[in-house]
Chains A and B, each alone.
Chain A
């Protein structure tokens, strides 16, 4: 009878022992697998959080530098100076959009468009001056590529209540405050018509979204243009059209990057783009939100990693100890086998194959068990968290499987070898005399 047959018989006859060992192998392998996939899941969640919070680079035309202004022009209000430096053009935007790590961008011009109400009414301020020639007071609108990325929306001052945000594709779209909408009985899909003095044109805008957050923000507004409820957002395309611009010329651009950690590198890349080099732009980065959370967030991540490591290490140690315990208990058997003329190699192989025989079904079982628990955990997590959860990646990766089983089998072999050698290096006589 060869060692393999003996191993099979041993496993079969010692059903309880085999079952117990099977369970232990399965449990520890499952624990390791779950730990690893949980570790990956948190890592992913951490990077999600980082992406959600993100960071931005603000690029602005350098208005504060007097050398970018030409000679003053005298007009009715005094002397006005015209900025004659570089503007942010479509070329610039396209170049930036291609930079690695840039996830989104938005440009806006605060008060880029001043509209007087034609077929609706603004909230009035304490003082009202009609300088539009019968059209009523003008109110500034923020011209934006992407209203979602406008700071008031990003920091939660304003909340979109109805409809959607303005996107770069929009044309003649407007976001107005809920207060203004209510005052004028307008809702999403309706239109408002405004008169713009600068272009001397009347334009109808379709309300694509209504936001809240302006309530009670009038503060000490003197004129209606200072009342936040009057101020809205319009898209960039209509703006270009109204002002007969063939090319985009922006005063500022906000570039959102994937992670705050490499914002400086991205900034450097952007600054060195040929389209931006030596232009009269100023740059600043905003990683404030990320800075808030980066410490506790990385602590969370570190702690999870530690947990995973500890679980894996202790699982490995437990397996090793158990196998040592197990094999040492079979001293007598080794003695008898040696006395019966089996060589040490055969005995070792028998012990090894016994354990491997048990480890194969337990590998399968742990894979199933881990998959099952991961999907259960995933479902639990999605259930538990109401918002912002798109998809949870609690999956058992093949790399994890390979690692757990590979290391597991390696440990198994090592442990058996180690403990078996302490037994079989003795002479058969010594073993048998030690037998009780």
Chain B
């Protein structure tokens, strides 16, 4: 009779013991599987949390003043080209949630009467234009200095769309969807008077009003010219300024903001961005903002570490308990070992049978645990975590986060099973060896 058959018979005929052992293996396996899924889950949740908060870095034009003969002279406005931007985008890669560009100009229109500021005249009745990819990601909207009242924001695919203030819309009877002609303009001051630097109009654009905003908290200087008043501010896409010949296609004057998903990646990304040669770093600065993440970084990290410690401890202790229980069980089989030895079975054969028995029980216990954990993780994911709601502006830009927090991965399960098998076999081996190391006579004395 082979050891396999004996192992099976031992399990089948001693059902009570086998079932208890099975339950123990099942419980420990379930514990380990749950623990490791949870560990994984906390990692994902933490990443998710970090991603929700996100981080941003800006490449800002920052002209270095040069002193020449005591007078400060400023060079031409520093710009960033689309090519440099694309290099940065490539570096940021999958972490990129959105990026925003800014470029500035002025616009006038026959159809528009801008609200007059200091020294308003026919020539200086113009509005300031900020051309962006996303208007909602501009400082004034993010800090809620401005709020969108109606319509929608400017988006990257827009062409010749504009956002105007409620006051300007009211002054000119404009509504969302209205199309108005715009022409280029430039503001300067001569002899205390504001003038238009582009008196000859050659560029014209039909712009559609897509949104109306309100300037809630902005502080205008009492002496601001017409174009300096917040209510005359126009947001547009870059096409508009390009069409008005106030912007070179693919060249940006203003800051470029890169919104990234995981704040932990920020530092690493910044280092690579700094190495982009095509950006004029003499006249640009990098500024990062992961302040909100930093505030909770400590706690978040410590939560993750707490989870890690807990799970490591639970895993180690449960394995230890498992091994101890097995040892007790093996000790109660001294009698059997004695009999097998006395009928001439070799130690290897006895060991083999015991190891096989335990391994078989372990396998079935583990399989049940795995099955249950797969089923439960789906249930848990549905009931506990639900569908993550995308909350606000920046979060809405990202692609939906993975909500499957708990999912026993195949490889991990295999590793766990391997680990458990090793522990079980080792324990069987160790505890049987203790018995087998005794003299046969001692075993037989202990038997009776």
Contact = CB atoms under 8 A, between A and B. Distances in A.
A binds B: yes
Interface of A: 16-17, 20-21, 23-24, 27-28, 30-31, 34-35, 38-39, 41-42, 45-46, 48-49, 52-53, 77, 110-111, 126-127, 129, 131, 138, 140, 151-152, 155-157, 159, 213, 215-217, 219-220, 222-223, 225-226, 288-289, 291-293, 295-297, 299-300, 302-304, 306-308, 310-311, 314-315, 317-318, 321-322, 324-326, 328-329, 373, 377, 380-382, 384-389, 392, 394, 436
Contacts of B225: 127, 222
B296 A389 contact: no
B309 A381 contact: yes
B42 A300 contact: yes
Number of contact residues on B: which range applies?
35 or more
B314 interface: yes
Given A111-B219, A311-B318, 20 more contacts: A38-B306, A42-B307, A46-B303, A48-B299, A110-B217, A127-B225, A155-B291, A157-B143, A217-B139, A292-B395, A299-B384, A300-B45, A307-B307, A308-B310, A314-B31, A318-B318, A325-B17, A381-B305, A381-B306, A385-B297
Nearest to B392: A288
B324 A31 contact: no
A49 B300 contact: yes
A48 B306 CA distance: 15
A35 B314 contact: yes
B108 interface: no
A163 B98 CA distance: 35
A293 B299 CA distance: 13
Interface string B298-330: 111111011101110110011011001101110
Majority secondary structure of chain B interface residues (helix, strand, loop or mixed) = helix
A321 B287 contact: no
Contacts of B143: 151-152, 155, 157
6 contacts: A27-B317, A155-B143, A306-B380, A318-B24, A321-B20, A389-B298
B159 to A, nearest CB: 22
Interface in B23-63: 23-24, 27-28, 30-31, 34-35, 38, 41-42, 45-46, 48-49, 52-53, 58, 60-62
Contacts, number: 271
Contact of B294 (A77, A111, A289, A387): A387
Given A27-B321, A324-B20, A387-B294, A307 B35 contact: yes
B296 A388 contact: yes
B306 A291 contact: no
Contacts of B335: 436
Given A27-B324, A295-B388, A297-B49, A225 B221 contact: yes
Contacts of B61: 216
Contact of A306 (B34, B49, B299): B34
A159 B324 contact: no
Given A140-B219, A219-B102, A52 B317 contact: no
A303 B38 contact: yes
Contacts of A385: 297-298, 301-302, 305
A299 B329 contact: no
B49 A380 contact: no
A20 B289 contact: no
Contacts of A226: 221, 228
Nearest to B104: A220
Interface of B: 16-17, 20, 23-24, 27-28, 30-31, 34-35, 38, 41-42, 45-46, 48-49, 52-53, 58, 60-62, 102, 104, 118, 128, 130, 139, 142-144, 187, 189, 194, 217, 219, 221-225, 227-228, 253-255, 284-285, 287, 289-292, 294-303, 305-307, 309-311, 313-314, 317-318, 320-321, 324-325, 327-329, 331-332, 335, 380, 384-385, 388-389, 391-392, 395, 405-406
Contacts of A300: 42, 45-46, 49, 303, 307
B305 A321 contact: no
A322 B21 CA distance: 9
Contacts of A389: 298-299, 302
Contacts of A49: 296, 299-300, 303
Contacts of A217: 60, 139, 255
A318 B27 contact: yes
A384 B299 contact: no
B90 to A, nearest CB: 23
A216 B317 contact: no
Nearest to A436: B335
Nearest to A197: B222
A248 to B, nearest CB: 20
A93 to B, nearest CB: 20
Contact of A310 (B35, B45, B102, B309): B35
A293 B306 contact: no
